[in-house]
Amino acid sequence: MLRALLVLLLFGCAPPAPGVVYVVPIGAPSPAELARAAWAAGRETGREVRVLPARPAPPPGADGRVSAGALLDGLVLGAPADAFRVVGVTDRPLGAPEEGEVIGYARLGERALVYSTDALSPGGDEAERRARTRRLVAHELGHTHGAGHCRAGCLMASAGTVRDLDHLADDLCPAHRARALAALQAVPGDPDWQAGVARERLRLGRFEDAVAHLREAVSARPGDDRLRTTLGVALMARGDLSAADAVLATAPDAPGARQARAALAAAAGDPARAVALLDAAVDPRRGRAAGVAYARRAVTTITFVEPEIVVAAGPLRVAVADPILPRRPNER
Ligand SMILES: [Zn+2]
Ligand SMILES: [Zn+2]
């Protein structure tokens, strides 16, 4: 009862939305930092927040920093079934490829974020520390909602140092505000949530899991071409090419589905059909070049090159617009 009352007070008398935000201590962040993380995560998501038992910090790399990307992978794979978001909080310095030390890190459109309390300045009173933590958590949550970096004046402006963080705007620009509000509508178990989890699994090579989540999403929302295209791509990744073609054929007007079917046609030894499918896709120039580079091989790899999924069959590479991430016309 007391907990229910506290939750109501936190969220301004509205009951929390379905799904839980899990805070995961990594290493030994202080109880005060965990309390700030939980407060900020609840405030920014309108969800119930639960703090999980601490996990040991992995050993640092040669640069003395823990890999932020590896932590994110562990957080999404270990997320409880009702996780809306997972917030990793560590006292260790974090590093990311090509960026060196980072304060916080999140992958676009994935549910996990992580940040380090190591670089957070100990100065200021509790209100200032909370404000700083809130900006950091809200910024990384913005990435989980699919937002890239934005112009100055938006909470999504690039921030590499604590000084940058202290100068970040308090609020999102209107476009990113709209994106955040849309992302906050997702409910664990609904088709959009299933598609998001599937995307995480695809990136991590867990194709079986991805197919299972996408089948659930498609059965709940059978008319959605994006979901069927993604299921087809996941089946290709699993090596189930005839099932992939059958699913992709149910989304005949989706450009991504045509491109993926062209890769399948090429892989099956039918370059003429591949070229015809690619000619019908959005970008005939790129499509024809890919179709001509035909190979009698099964699809071997699928990689993510934002904002596209690249399907490769031997020397053939077909770029399929990522059907899950929304378009980002004014970002980066
Ligand atoms: Zn950022
Ligand atoms: Zn913005």
User: Which ligand minimizes its atom distance to the CA of 135?
Assistant: 1
| Pair of tokens at residue 225 | 């071409």
Q: How much distance in Å is there from the Cα of 69 to the middle of ligand 2?
A: 24
Return the CA Rg of the chain: 21
CA of 203 to the centre of ligand 2 (A): 26
Q: How buried is residue 1: exposed, middle or buried, by Cβ count under 10 Å (0-12/13-18/19+)?
A: exposed
CATH, range 191-321: 1.25.40.10
Cβ 195 vs Cβ 225: under 8 Å: no
User: Who's near 194: CB < 8 A, 6+ residues apart?
Assistant: 213, 214, 216, 217, 220
**Domains 2-183 and 191-321 fall in the same CATH topology:** no
**Dist. CA 136 → ligand 1 center (Å):** 9
Higher-pLDDT residue of 224, 99: 224
Strands 100-102 and 94-96 turn out to be: antiparallel
Centre of ligand 1 to C-alpha 166, Å, is 14
pLDDT digits (tens, 9 = 90+) for 142-196: 999 999 999 878 999 998 888 888 889 999 999 999 999 999 999 999 998 999 9
| Cα–Cα dist 271/296, whole Å | 9
Please tell me the CATH code under which domain 2-183 is placed.
3.40.390.10
Closest ligand to the CA of 179: 2
41 CA distance to ligand 2 centroid (A)? 19
171 Cα: distance to centroid of ligand 2 (angstroms):
9
> Rounded mean pLDDT of 52-81?
96
Calculate how far, in angstroms, residue 142's C-alpha sits from the geometric centre of ligand 2.
9
Between 51-55, 208-212, 283-287, the lowest mean confidence (pLDDT) is in: 283-287
Q: Where are the domains of the chain?
A: 2-183, 191-321
